[in-house]
Homo-oligomer: A and B are copies of this chain.
Amino acid sequence: MTAATQSLGAGAGTALHPGHPLQPADGVVTAFSAGETRAMEAALQAALRGPRGANPLVGAVVVDPEGNHLITGFHRGAGTAHAEADAIAQAAAAGVDLSGCTMLVTLEPCNHLGRTGPCAQAIIAAGITDVVYAVDDPHDPAAGGAATLRAAGVRVRSGLGAAESLDLNRQWFEAVTAKRPFVTLHIAQTLDSRIAAQDGTSQWISSPESLADNHAIRGRIDAILVGTQTVLVDNPRLTARDPQGTPAPNQPVRAVMGLRDVPGGAAVRGTDGRVTHLRTRDPHEALSLLYASGTRHLMVEGGSRILSAFLAAGLVDELIVYLAPTLLGSGTPALDGLGITTLADAQQWEWDESDGGAVRRLGRDLRLHLRPQRTVALDPQPSRATAEQAQEGH
């Protein structure tokens, strides 16, 4: 697989192309050293190792005054340590003293007491005296980390790698700005993009390894969504289970979308009350309802009509395709219309190298990982100077 290794490059933003140095925002060019630029590039690379979802991809690198990289942290997804806390915890475990050092982090350190404690306080406690971050955190509750750091005497600068960090998380910024969940869409299909045979059989198109991967994702999202048609035809449970059938500790809310009733005996109903029927065919409305009840990361599982509705509405942030090396030639196509009539209007996607890569082998399947192709530069923080500078440097 040497060829694939060589050629399946970047895909997650310009930051990863060798020879394409970070572009600091205009006006602050002199504020960052070459060493800081290299460290921010390393932080962006580290960020890519995490999974997409309710939280953005974030990486953090701590360098000593001579510019040596002491420690690298990244965020592993909702409920786990932020990148800064990860780096500081690693340093503590390794007995590495970070006092007097500089942290470069791809997002403004948080100031809120979430599940993992405020990073600003952890940075101060670690004795770090300089912080360089790429872009401001767009969440109101988290805003203020920079101010807290400054108040404690930490030198704080921002804007280095801003364009790259915004690009890395552009779908996440879009979801946050729109106040909707981050949407992962899942398709388990044959090479000829069928999700069921003519007689309706669809278990199992994917390999056991793909099914396990899907269940691992179920275990870390807030909600999973299918259409009423899928409930009526396939009667899925939609719980997160290990290969032995044991339920995972965290279970997603099970959402069924559509106007038809969910039968009383449907498996999706379960016994834990974590099921909701969204009586709408409009994906925007479905997302609003889910967001209002706390869902920040949704996985849309199917069937064709639901997949197509979310894709046609431009409401998919991450696309995961389990591609089985099989052909059916007929049966249910994965998609049943996106309102596209000519090739020039085809939806363009790009390979997403985050979270293990754009193309992985799962058993005999390929797992393809994509995100929408960038069309225009995002401007999620129009009122804040740092983001504006970042846009100029983009």
What residues make up the interface of A, taking CB atoms closer than 8 Å to B? 1-5, 7-9, 190-194, 196-199, 201-203, 205, 308, 311-312, 321, 325-331, 333-351, 353, 356-362, 364, 366, 368, 370, 373
A sample of 19 inter-chain contacts (CB < 8 A) reads A1-B8, A3-B356, A4-B359, A4-B360, A8-B361, A9-B361, A190-B346, A192-B334, A197-B342, A201-B344, A308-B329, A326-B348, A326-B349, A327-B347, A328-B340, A329-B337, A329-B347, A330-B341, A359-B359
Residues of B within 8 A of A359 (CB): 1, 4, 8, 359, 366
Residues of B within 8 A of A326 (CB): 346-349
Residues of B within 8 A of A197 (CB): 340-343, 345-346
Complex CA–CA separation, A289 to B302 (angstroms): 46
Residues of B within 8 A of A7 (CB): 360-362
B330 and A340 contact, CB distance less than 8 A: yes
B325 and A329 contact, CB distance less than 8 A: no
Closest CB of chain B to A330's CB: distance in Å? Answer: 5
Residues of B within 8 A of A4 (CB): 1, 4-5, 8, 357, 359-361
Complex CA–CA separation, A335 to B343 (angstroms): 18
A325 and B370 contact, CB distance less than 8 A: yes
Q: Which 3 A-B pairs have the closest CB atoms?
A: A329-B338, A193-B193, A7-B361
Complex CA–CA separation, A99 to B245 (angstroms): 63
B330 and A337 contact, CB distance less than 8 A: yes
Residues of B within 8 A of A308 (CB): 329
A192 and B193 contact, CB distance less than 8 A: yes
- A1-B4, A8-B4, A191-B193 are contacts. A328–B357 as well, Cβ < 8 Å? no
Residues of B within 8 A of A373 (CB): 325
